[in-house]
Amino acid sequence: MKVAIIGTGYVGLPTGVGLAELGNEVTCIDRDPQKIAALNSGKITLYEDGLEELFHKNTAAGRIKFTTSMKEGIETADLVIIAVGTPPHPVTKEADMKYIHAAATELAEYLQGYTVVATKSTVPVGTGDDIEALISKKNPFADFDVVSLPEFLREGFAVYDFFHPDRIVVGANTEKARNVIKELYQPFAGKTNMLFVKRRSSETIKYASNAFLAIKIHYINEMADFCEKTGADITEVAQGMGLDTRIGNRFLNPGPGYGGSCFPKDTMAMSYMARQNDVEMTLINAAIAGNTKRKQQMAERILNAVKDIPNPKIAVLGLAFKDGTDDCRESPAMDIVYNLLEHKADITAYDPKAMGTACRLLGDKISYADDMYACLKDADVLAILTEWGEFKSLDLTRAGLLMRHKNIVDCRNLLNIESALANGFKYQGIGKKIENKEKLLREVA
């Protein structure tokens, strides 16, 4: 199938590369000439595990190309996928539709023959109708259907998720459009759930899912606060909860709050849509407010750990919003760093993949280290903010020798508490009350 993808970002690029790998002829279109120039010169523009290899394989095979020209990609396409951003509106926090509207208007004049226009971007309910109207206005003779094809990939696992989707949701109002999407996903037939629904249902499924997951994270974070006060251990509590298949064991890791390019904006957009429709969504609103507060609380926790030290040096491990990605959009780690900077903190940070992205945002406001041990040199506290696997293997004896004070605030519960205490560290995790180091060490012994 000939596929054009508009928007070559965290969704568009892995989707394009994945569809090329399945044998489709893919043209990725982006309005950012620098991005397209980089991709055309063989340079991958974002980090995702396994993406670079597939990108090179498929560009070499001529199955995927990159252009800034709508004409080049759209004219021959059987299917056009819109994967542009839908960031929060700066004032109302609803999904800002300017990129979607621009893409729909720009593509319209180049449609030739019957074409399915599918929206992978996360868009408010009713957007399919708007896109239909925009295209028809610009090109009254166009023969097309608009389909909602929400994306459920997880950043950090985009390639894996492309080839192993939990579900494929298709919101199509015509049989002809449904058949085009069925053909596209033929390689997954019988291997995953494929759900065909009304277009408006499909648009809602994406927001309903993301808001639910955000609420789940907020819930376990509040439960972690409760554990800290009562002496229960959140890891054990989450384990016990997760054994109930009705609850499920995923998204029960407490931390510094949810972040990334989806949950914060999608919860706000859902809340806005609910208000517009006179529906009260108290849970979503509580999660939004609680999540904002949580990041401040984490910053306070770190500052509190060094409150008696003059001009303390803070070592930060992790800046990406989660492991496996270089994406720092709405990263709790970044928000915590910004918060610490408001208190004039002296910060040195390290992230295995997000140093470039973070540096573009933070500039010289903080110092950057080449690895996790360099980051710890002369630090008065170590704050672990992203759950990168490599941080788990931190040699605590070596860390203790490098740091000025042996102090850890582990916002991801990554380190082994007994080992931290045995190495003489003061340790704070999430949802764990560590009141008596000697007793804990005796229990371990």
**Footprint of ligand NAD on this chain (CB under 6 A)?**
6-12, 29-32, 35, 83-86, 99, 102-103, 106, 120-122, 151, 153, 155, 261-262
Query: In terms of CB distance, is 100 or 375 closer to ligand NAD?
Result: 100
Query: In terms of CB distance, is 157 or 373 closer to ligand NAD?
Result: 157
Least distance CB 104 / ligand NAD (angstroms) = 9
Query: In terms of CB distance, is 132 or 326 closer to ligand NAD?
Result: 326
Q: Nearest to residue 358, comparing CAs of 301, 317, 414?
A: 317
Q: Which residue is nearest to ligand NAD (CB)?
A: 9
Q: Where are the alpha helices (DSSP H) in 86-245?
A: 98-108, 127-138, 158-163, 175-184, 199-230, 234-242
**Cα angle vertex 155, ends 246, 2, to 5°?**
110
Per the CB < 8 A criterion, the answer to whether 203 and 124 are in contact is: yes
Least distance CB 296 / ligand NAD (angstroms) = 25
Query: In terms of CB distance, is 63 or 120 closer to ligand NAD?
Result: 120
Query: How many Å apart are CA 147 and CA 215, to the nearest integer?
Result: 28
Query: How many Å apart are CA 6 and CA 80, to the nearest integer?
Result: 7
| Token couple for 50 | 């396994």
Active-site residue among 227, 262, 328, 375? 262
Residues in the chain: 445
Query: In terms of CB distance, is 256 or 264 closer to ligand NAD?
Result: 264
Q: Is 357 exposed, middle or buried (0-12, 13-18, 19+ CB in 10 A)?
A: buried
User: At a CB cut-off of 8 Å and minimum separation 6, what does 215 contact?
Assistant: 283, 284, 287
Distance from chain centroid for Cα 185: 24
Q: Nearest to residue 12, comparing CAs of 272, 208, 261?
A: 261
Q: Is 194 exposed, middle or buried (0-12, 13-18, 19+ CB in 10 A)?
A: middle
Query: How many Å apart are CA 284 and CA 208, to the nearest integer?
Result: 10
Per the CB < 8 A criterion, the answer to whether 379 and 369 are in contact is: no
Give all strands of the β-sheet with 426-428 in edge-to-edge order. 367-368, 346-350, 313-317, 381-384, 407-410, 426-428
Question: Does the annotation mark 227 as catalytic?
Answer: no
Least distance CB 411 / ligand NAD (angstroms) = 22
Query: In terms of CB distance, is 9 or 128 closer to ligand NAD?
Result: 9
Query: In terms of CB distance, is 66 or 350 closer to ligand NAD?
Result: 66
Which 3 state secondary structure label does DSSP give 213? Answer: helix
| Token couple for 116 | 């399915």
Residues noted as catalytic: 262
